[in-house]
Amino acid sequence: MIQFIHVYKAYSPGYYVLMDLNLHIRKGEFVFLIGPSGVGKTTFLKLIYREELPTKGEILVSGFNVRVLPNHRLPLLRRKIGIVFQDFKLLPYLSVFDNIALVLQILGYPYTYIKQRVCELSEQLDLKEKLKTKVSNLSTGEKQRVAIARALAHQPPLLLADEPTSNLDAKRSIQTIDLFKELNKLGSTVIVATHNRDLANFVPSARMLEIGKGKIKAKIS
Protein backbone atom coordinates (compact mmCIF):
# COMPACT_ATOMS: atom_id res chain seq x y z
CA MET A 1 0.00 0.00 0.00
CA ILE A 2 2.65 2.53 1.11
CA GLN A 3 6.41 2.21 0.83
CA PHE A 4 9.09 4.71 1.82
CA ILE A 5 12.46 3.83 0.28
CA HIS A 6 15.44 5.79 1.64
CA VAL A 7 13.33 8.93 1.94
CA TYR A 8 14.84 12.23 3.06
CA LYS A 9 13.03 15.55 3.40
CA ALA A 10 14.79 18.88 3.90
CA TYR A 11 13.21 22.34 3.87
CA SER A 12 16.61 24.04 3.75
CA PRO A 13 20.06 22.70 2.73
CA GLY A 14 21.45 20.37 5.36
CA TYR A 15 18.39 20.57 7.63
CA TYR A 16 16.54 17.28 7.35
CA VAL A 17 13.09 16.92 8.88
CA LEU A 18 13.04 13.25 7.85
CA MET A 19 16.12 11.12 7.24
CA ASP A 20 16.51 7.80 5.45
CA LEU A 21 13.01 6.49 6.13
CA ASN A 22 12.42 2.91 5.05
CA LEU A 23 8.92 1.79 5.83
CA HIS A 24 6.21 -0.50 4.50
CA ILE A 25 2.57 -0.01 5.54
CA ARG A 26 0.40 -2.84 4.29
CA LYS A 27 -3.11 -2.56 2.93
CA GLY A 28 -5.68 -2.71 5.73
CA GLU A 29 -3.30 -1.76 8.55
CA PHE A 30 -4.26 0.64 11.32
CA VAL A 31 -1.19 2.70 12.20
CA PHE A 32 -0.50 5.33 14.85
CA LEU A 33 2.39 7.66 14.11
CA ILE A 34 3.38 8.94 17.55
CA GLY A 35 5.53 11.96 18.37
CA PRO A 36 5.47 15.51 19.80
CA SER A 37 4.84 18.59 17.70
CA GLY A 38 7.53 19.51 15.22
CA VAL A 39 9.12 16.10 14.67
CA GLY A 40 7.81 15.58 11.13
CA LYS A 41 4.43 13.84 11.50
CA THR A 42 2.61 16.31 9.24
CA THR A 43 5.45 16.24 6.71
CA PHE A 44 5.24 12.43 6.64
CA LEU A 45 1.54 12.60 5.76
CA LYS A 46 2.06 15.37 3.18
CA LEU A 47 4.60 13.19 1.40
CA ILE A 48 2.01 10.43 1.10
CA TYR A 49 -0.62 12.59 -0.59
CA ARG A 50 2.01 14.53 -2.56
CA GLU A 51 1.54 17.92 -0.95
CA GLU A 52 5.32 17.75 -0.51
CA LEU A 53 7.97 15.98 -2.55
CA PRO A 54 10.86 14.07 -0.99
CA THR A 55 14.30 15.62 -1.23
CA LYS A 56 15.66 12.14 -1.90
CA GLY A 57 14.16 8.68 -2.14
CA GLU A 58 11.04 7.02 -3.50
CA ILE A 59 7.50 6.85 -2.12
CA LEU A 60 5.00 4.33 -3.48
CA VAL A 61 1.30 4.78 -2.64
CA SER A 62 -1.40 2.50 -4.07
CA GLY A 63 0.71 1.73 -7.12
CA PHE A 64 1.75 5.35 -7.73
CA ASN A 65 5.33 6.59 -7.41
CA VAL A 66 4.45 9.98 -5.96
CA ARG A 67 7.86 11.54 -6.60
CA VAL A 68 7.47 11.24 -10.38
CA LEU A 69 3.66 11.37 -10.58
CA PRO A 70 2.68 14.03 -13.15
CA ASN A 71 0.31 16.72 -11.92
CA HIS A 72 -2.47 15.70 -14.29
CA ARG A 73 -2.57 12.25 -12.63
CA LEU A 74 -2.52 13.58 -9.07
CA PRO A 75 -6.34 13.55 -8.75
CA LEU A 76 -6.29 9.78 -9.42
CA LEU A 77 -4.16 9.32 -6.31
CA ARG A 78 -6.06 11.75 -4.10
CA ARG A 79 -9.45 10.23 -4.88
CA LYS A 80 -8.23 7.18 -3.00
CA ILE A 81 -7.36 9.22 0.11
CA GLY A 82 -9.40 10.84 2.85
CA ILE A 83 -7.50 13.49 4.80
CA VAL A 84 -8.25 15.04 8.19
CA PHE A 85 -6.13 18.18 8.09
CA GLN A 86 -4.75 19.67 11.29
CA ASP A 87 -6.02 23.10 10.19
CA PHE A 88 -9.29 21.62 8.84
CA LYS A 89 -9.22 23.30 5.37
CA LEU A 90 -13.00 23.71 5.38
CA LEU A 91 -14.87 26.20 3.17
CA PRO A 92 -16.16 28.75 5.74
CA TYR A 93 -18.84 30.25 3.48
CA LEU A 94 -20.52 26.86 2.98
CA SER A 95 -22.78 25.00 5.39
CA VAL A 96 -21.76 21.92 7.34
CA PHE A 97 -23.82 19.78 4.96
CA ASP A 98 -22.13 21.22 1.87
CA ASN A 99 -18.64 20.83 3.32
CA ILE A 100 -19.20 17.15 4.11
CA ALA A 101 -20.95 16.54 0.78
CA LEU A 102 -18.32 18.25 -1.36
CA VAL A 103 -16.06 15.27 -2.02
CA LEU A 104 -19.07 13.06 -2.85
CA GLN A 105 -20.34 15.67 -5.30
CA ILE A 106 -16.91 15.87 -6.96
CA LEU A 107 -16.85 12.08 -7.30
CA GLY A 108 -20.29 12.10 -8.93
CA TYR A 109 -22.38 10.29 -6.33
CA PRO A 110 -26.19 10.71 -6.69
CA TYR A 111 -27.84 13.24 -4.40
CA THR A 112 -29.94 10.61 -2.61
CA TYR A 113 -26.77 8.78 -1.52
CA ILE A 114 -25.01 12.03 -0.61
CA LYS A 115 -27.88 13.10 1.63
CA GLN A 116 -28.03 9.68 3.29
CA ARG A 117 -24.26 9.54 3.88
CA VAL A 118 -24.01 13.10 5.21
CA CYS A 119 -26.92 12.53 7.59
CA GLU A 120 -25.38 9.26 8.79
CA LEU A 121 -22.03 10.89 9.57
CA SER A 122 -23.62 13.95 11.16
CA GLU A 123 -25.53 11.63 13.49
CA GLN A 124 -22.37 9.74 14.45
CA LEU A 125 -20.41 12.94 15.08
CA ASP A 126 -23.15 14.92 16.84
CA LEU A 127 -23.51 17.42 14.00
CA LYS A 128 -27.12 16.77 13.05
CA GLU A 129 -28.35 20.08 14.47
CA LYS A 130 -25.60 21.99 12.65
CA LEU A 131 -26.08 20.81 9.05
CA LYS A 132 -27.47 24.15 7.83
CA THR A 133 -24.97 26.23 9.82
CA LYS A 134 -22.11 27.96 8.02
CA VAL A 135 -18.75 26.59 9.05
CA SER A 136 -17.57 30.09 9.96
CA ASN A 137 -20.07 30.07 12.83
CA LEU A 138 -18.84 26.82 14.39
CA SER A 139 -16.58 26.27 17.38
CA THR A 140 -13.11 24.81 16.83
CA GLY A 141 -14.23 21.39 18.06
CA GLU A 142 -17.23 21.42 15.72
CA LYS A 143 -15.00 22.32 12.78
CA GLN A 144 -12.76 19.41 13.61
CA ARG A 145 -15.73 17.04 13.56
CA VAL A 146 -16.84 18.40 10.17
CA ALA A 147 -13.33 17.81 8.84
CA ILE A 148 -13.47 14.23 10.10
CA ALA A 149 -16.88 13.65 8.51
CA ARG A 150 -15.68 15.04 5.17
CA ALA A 151 -12.63 12.76 5.18
CA LEU A 152 -14.78 9.69 5.89
CA ALA A 153 -17.60 10.55 3.48
CA HIS A 154 -16.43 8.53 0.47
CA GLN A 155 -15.09 5.63 2.59
CA PRO A 156 -11.58 6.05 1.19
CA PRO A 157 -9.18 3.11 0.78
CA LEU A 158 -6.60 5.22 2.66
CA LEU A 159 -7.34 7.59 5.56
CA LEU A 160 -4.71 10.05 6.80
CA ALA A 161 -5.61 11.87 10.01
CA ASP A 162 -3.36 14.62 11.38
CA GLU A 163 -4.01 15.18 15.11
CA PRO A 164 -7.72 14.40 14.55
CA THR A 165 -8.70 14.59 18.24
CA SER A 166 -6.64 17.59 19.35
CA ASN A 167 -9.73 19.79 19.86
CA LEU A 168 -12.12 17.08 21.05
CA ASP A 169 -13.09 15.96 24.52
CA ALA A 170 -12.48 12.39 25.66
CA LYS A 171 -15.93 11.11 24.64
CA ARG A 172 -15.75 12.53 21.12
CA SER A 173 -12.16 11.40 20.73
CA ILE A 174 -13.29 7.82 21.35
CA GLN A 175 -16.22 8.27 18.93
CA THR A 176 -13.76 9.43 16.28
CA ILE A 177 -11.40 6.49 16.77
CA ASP A 178 -14.40 4.15 16.65
CA LEU A 179 -15.36 5.59 13.24
CA PHE A 180 -11.80 5.06 12.03
CA LYS A 181 -11.97 1.47 13.27
CA GLU A 182 -15.22 0.91 11.34
CA LEU A 183 -13.56 2.16 8.16
CA ASN A 184 -10.55 -0.05 8.84
CA LYS A 185 -12.81 -3.10 9.25
CA LEU A 186 -14.05 -2.44 5.70
CA GLY A 187 -10.47 -2.90 4.48
CA SER A 188 -9.18 0.67 4.46
CA THR A 189 -5.71 1.59 5.63
CA VAL A 190 -5.76 4.15 8.46
CA ILE A 191 -2.82 6.30 9.57
CA VAL A 192 -3.33 8.57 12.58
CA ALA A 193 -0.58 11.07 13.41
CA THR A 194 -0.85 12.19 17.02
CA HIS A 195 1.10 13.31 20.08
CA ASN A 196 -1.39 11.41 22.26
CA ARG A 197 -0.15 7.84 22.56
CA ASP A 198 -3.13 6.97 24.80
CA LEU A 199 -5.34 6.88 21.68
CA ALA A 200 -3.66 3.63 20.68
CA ASN A 201 -5.19 1.96 23.74
CA PHE A 202 -8.53 2.01 21.91
CA VAL A 203 -7.12 0.03 18.97
CA PRO A 204 -5.16 -2.86 20.52
CA SER A 205 -4.42 -4.38 17.11
CA ALA A 206 -2.91 -1.17 15.72
CA ARG A 207 0.73 -0.78 14.83
CA MET A 208 2.58 2.01 16.63
CA LEU A 209 5.40 3.91 14.95
CA GLU A 210 7.32 6.46 16.98
CA ILE A 211 8.96 9.33 15.13
CA GLY A 212 11.72 11.54 16.47
CA LYS A 213 14.89 13.28 15.31
CA GLY A 214 13.89 12.73 11.71
CA LYS A 215 13.57 8.98 11.96
CA ILE A 216 11.08 6.35 12.92
CA LYS A 217 13.05 5.35 15.95
CA ALA A 218 10.84 2.73 17.53
CA LYS A 219 8.29 0.21 16.38
CA ILE A 220 6.12 -0.91 19.25
CA SER A 221 3.93 -3.96 18.68
Instruction: Look up the pTM and report it.
Output: 0.96
* Average pLDDT of the residues of the chain: 95
27: nearest Cα among 187, 200, 208: 187
Does residue 148 surpass a pLDDT of 80? Answer: yes
Residue type, 193: A
pLDDT score of 178 = 97
Is residue 84 helix, strand or coil?
strand
The domain 27-52+71-220 is classified under which CATH number: 3.30.465.10, 3.40.50.300, 2.60.40.10, 3.30.70.100? 3.40.50.300
The average pLDDT across 97-112 equals 97
Domain boundaries, given as residue ranges, for the chain? 27-52+71-220
β-sheet with 56-61: strand ranges across? 15-25, 2-12, 56-61, 64-65
Does residue 185 surpass a pLDDT of 80? Answer: yes
The neighbour count for residue 116, using CB atoms within 10 Å, is: 12
Q: What is the DSSP letter of 14?
A: T
Burial 34-59 (b: 16+ CB within 10 A, else e): bbeeebbbbbbbbbbbbebebeebeb
pLDDT score of 218 = 58
Does residue 221 surpass a pLDDT of 70? Answer: no
Does residue 14 surpass a pLDDT of 90? Answer: no
Is residue 90 helix, strand or coil?
coil
The average pLDDT across 3-10 equals 97
Spatial distance between the Cα atoms of 153 and 52, rounded to a whole number of angstroms: 24
Does residue 220 surpass a pLDDT of 60? Answer: no
